[in-house]
Amino acid sequence: MKLLVQIIGAALVIISLVDIYLTVLFPRLGSSLLSLRLGKGIWWLFRLAARLVPCKDKKVLSHSGPVLIIATVVVWVCLLICGFALIVWPDLGSAIKSTREWTDTDFTTALYYSGFSLTTLGTGDLTPETDFQRLLMILEAALGFSTFTLTITYLLSIYSALIRRNTFALSLHHRSGGTADAAEILARLGASGELSGVQQDISDIARDLINLLESQHSYPALLFFRFRQTYYALPRILLLAMDTATLMKSALNTQKYRSLVNSTATAELWGGSQQLLVELSGFFVGEHRSNINDSLEQVWQKRYYHAVEKFRAEGIETATDLEAGASLYICLRRKWYPCLAGLASYMGYKWSEIAPCEN
C-alpha cells in the first residue's frame, strides 16, 4: 500500500513537470498534457455562464483568458504539492519527524510539509531524518523555485504576444477606417490608382500575420483572451486578412497589377491566414459545416461589386470580366468561410459582429 501511494504521488509530479515542460519550454499547439484541455474546459464554463448571465456584450467571456492562466498555474502547483505529499505521507513519524513530542501522520500534515518545501520556505516544524527525505526535500524546493520562475516567464511571454496581437488588430481596424471592410483597406492603400507601394504594405500585414501564427503556435492559450471590443477579435483579424487577399486575387486587373497579385507578399498573406485559420479551427472547433446557400452567395456577390465600385472611385483598375471575377471571389470565399464562421461561433461572436459590412 505504501509503495502504491508513493507511485501515484510520483506520477502526479511527473504529469505536472511534463505539462510545464510542454507548455513553457516546448510550446507548440496541441503538445500539452493538461493546460489546453483545461483551457477548453474553462472556456466551455465561461460560455455557459455567458448564456445564463444576461449581458449584451458578454463581459463574462472577457475574463476567461486571465482565469485560465491562474487556473493553469494553480493546477501545476497543486499537482506538485499533492504528488510530493503522497510520496512523503507513508514516512511521517519515522523518516520525517516533528520537533514536538508527537508527529501527526495524517495527509494534511503531509500537504503542510510538501507545501513548505515546494515554496522554498523550509519544512516548518517537521524535519527529514533520512538521507532520502533530505534529498527529496532539496529536489522539491528546486522544482518549486524553477516552477515559479518558469511561470513568471510564461506570463510575460503570453502578455507580450497578446499585446502584439492587439496592436495588429488595432492597426487593421484603423486601416479600414473602422469599417471592418477589406475593400476599404485596399482602396486606401491604392488611392488615386497608385498601387506601386502597396506591395510593401501588404508585406507588412503578412509579416504581422505570420508573427501571429507563430505566437498562436507557441501560446495556444491566446485564443481564450476575448475582449469586448470586436475589433480585437481574432476572427476579425482573419476576415480582414483573408478578404484582402481574396479581393486582390479576384477584383484587381491582373494585367496591370500582376506584380502585386502574384507577389510573395500576397502569397504570404493568403497562405499564412489560411494556415492559421485551418489549424485553429481544426484543433479547437473541429469539423464545421456552414450552410452556404444561394442567399449567402448573393451577399458575397453584392459585396464584390461594392468593392469594385470603391476601387474604381479611387482610380484603381479592376478585373475586365466582372462576372468571372465575382465567380472567383465566391469560389475563394467558399474555401475559408466555413472555418472562419465556425471559429467566430466558438469564440462567442455573431457573424454580424465580425463582418458588419456584410449585413
pLDDT tens digit string along 19-75?
Answer: 999 999 888 777 788 888 899 999 999 998 888 876 665 788 889 999 999 999 999
Instruction: Please tell me the class of the 2-152 domain.
Output: mainly alpha
Domain ranges of the chain: 2-152, 176-358
The cell numbers describing 306, all together, are 461594392
**Alpha helices in 21-130, H assignment, sequence order:** 35-52, 64-88, 107-118
> What DSSP state is assigned to residue 284?
I
216: number of CA atoms within 13 Å, CB side? 24
Residue 237: helix, strand or coil by DSSP? Answer: helix
Angle 239-243-246 (CA atoms, 0-180°, nearest 5)?
Answer: 145
What's this model's pTM, rounded to 2 decimal places? 0.89
Distance CA 26, CA 30 (A): 11
Q: How many CB atoms lie within 10 A of CB 44?
A: 11
Partnered with residue 269 across adjacent β-strands are: none
Measured CA to CA, the distance from residue 112 to residue 127 in angstroms comes to: 12
How far is Cα 32 from Cα 217, in angstroms, rounded to an integer?
A: 12
Band the pLDDT of 157: cuts 50, 70, 90: very high
Give 24's contacts (C-beta < 8 A, 6+ positions apart): 150, 151, 153, 154
* Residue 253 and residue 320 in contact, taking contact as beta carbons nearer than 8 Å: yes
Q: Which residue, chain included where needed, has cell 485564443?
A: 223
What digits encode the pLDDT tens for the residues 218-268? Answer: 898 999 999 989 999 999 999 999 999 999 999 999 888 888 888 899 999
Flag whether pLDDT at 340 surpasses 70: yes
Name the residue among 10, 14, 5 with its Cα closest to residue 34: 14
pLDDT in tens, 285-327: 776 566 778 888 999 999 999 999 999 988 888 999 999 999 9
